[in-house]
Structure 1
Amino acid sequence: MINRRTVIAGAAALAFSATAASAQEWKAKYPELTFAVVPAENASGVTERWAPFISYLSKELGVKVNLRIANDYAAVIEGQRTGAIHIASYGSASFARARMTGVKTEAFANDRNIDGTTGYYSMFFVLAKSPYKNIDDMKGKNLGLVDPNSTSGNNVPRFELNKMQITDAESYFGKVVYTGSHENALLALSQGTIDVAANQWTADNDSTLAQMLTKGMLKNADGSAMKKDDFRIVHRSAPILNGPYAVLTDMPADLKAGIEKAFFAAPTKDKAAFDRLSDGQKKDFNAATTKDWDGMIELIKFVDSLRKKKAS
């Protein structure tokens, strides 16, 4: 006899079968996935930070996930353009640049800070022993930026400088150099190669500077470890939305849904792996959509216009 319970059980079995078949389909097409990040620290530090989370993703998705440490933001953009990078950790500016140049990528999450906020700041740091108290004191001095596609290390700093009527940083400062990473910018500052460094900052214990000080990576001339009081902030930007995690738009919907599910479950399902990403300084992943970064596109266009004015 066929009853309601039999029909429901049969429908559930069919649904499960269809889901399993769909998963097998995308796994056949994507037997491995590549997750790319841009290093804010040295490569070994990035690997140690991300390896547990990558292992967690591999287990949850049922396919091998490979960590790719990109040389710079441009490499992540081009990797997603060619389809070689399936999941990417972007900065807000590099994600905007990817979209502006036609990369078919979509955001699904970003980091939520311990206090529940989802933003951070771009700071200008100087050494506390220096006489510099603000940007007005820095004319003719050397500025260290991070990367042309860095949000807090280039685009927002240039936008902030423009608000201070400094439309051409290269003319205002004695020299402007790209150091290649957030760590390198602070190392250059500590060593006196530059006089002011642009960098990211969320809280006193959540920034590249805080991580480097904890590791003892910044030294005084006598070899002693530097402390937080050895640095001074001379300018803080308006809040910046934490950069997104993004997947290729044309990947199967079931695969993208599986990635999202794994991300949002991570803080409870593998808290150790999640906490390792930020030394325990993030609360969880915040659900986000691509349009959340539309405003950053306008900022990038503005910064591009400044460069064009300089070149003309």
Structure 2
Amino acid sequence: MPQPIRRAVIPAAGLGSRLLPLTKAIPKEMLPVGDRPVIEHTVRELVASGITDITIVVSGGKSLIQEHFRPNPALVAQLRADGKAAYADAVQEVGELSRRGHITYLDQHGPYGNGTPVLNAARNSGDEPMLVLWPDDVFVAHVPRAQQLIAAYNATNSPVLALMPMQPGDSQRYGVPVVKEEFDGGLLRITGLVEKPRPEEAPSHFAAIGGYVITPGIIDELREQTGRWTGAGEIYLTDAINAFAATRAVYGQVIRGQWYDTGNPLAYLTAQFAAALADPDYGPHLRRLARDLDPADALVAG
């Protein structure tokens, strides 16, 4: 039987350079999408999926993340005394996420690359499988993405990557899986990933979009990379997954739902706009605004 997944890691040590100057003083993970910071969407997804141990790997300048999730009973009490019960409930609920997800924070140490925060978190996970989700992704789905990945892992007892269909011309933006076999429900057996291939060289029409079930074997491959590291280059999950897939089974799960990436200005604005349109209070007004606004009256940068 597969080992139950209780743990997750959220790598949140990046600089957010593609979103400067927004991220000069504010961590990119704290930029709002809808009525909450983007990282809260990820934490809520994990808690809703039954994860009870969440490690957020951070770097300097990320203290706002800890502040956001830290319970603040004094503020809650003040809001209730002022008759602002709805605000009090909202603040209290965010603090509860820290308890329900047992959130801990870990400073990133080691070489750059997205494999390093996973290795950092693995020191506390023993030989357990764990989820890895990025803090700048937002999924809107009837069944949370994390639950879909866990279900695929339970069915295969193997590492699992989150996949989405892509347009052929987009292949140079993603890791593209080499598909060996397709099963019902969007489950794919894959033999590796090709990073950002040209459209004519893409091995499939799927994209790896960030979201993994990582098993101890993948951690061992990351340690192998670190052992060979000489101070140049970076440690990447893709390399560990490809090394593992050379001799053992790896799967991809095509995620059912809508994915929003917030890692660049256009993607962030798209996610923010979609969240606002979906809001029952704001959506109707914004639709009217988009229809009636004269471009000459629009706000412009500078």
Q: With the length of structure 1 as denominator, give the TM-score of the two structures.
A: 0.26
In our comparison, the structure showing a higher alpha carbon Rg is: 1
Q: Report the structure, 1 or 2, having the larger helix content.
A: 1
Point out which structure has higher relative CO (alpha carbons under 8 A, 6+ apart).
1
Q: With the length of structure 2 as denominator, give the TM-score of the two structures.
A: 0.27
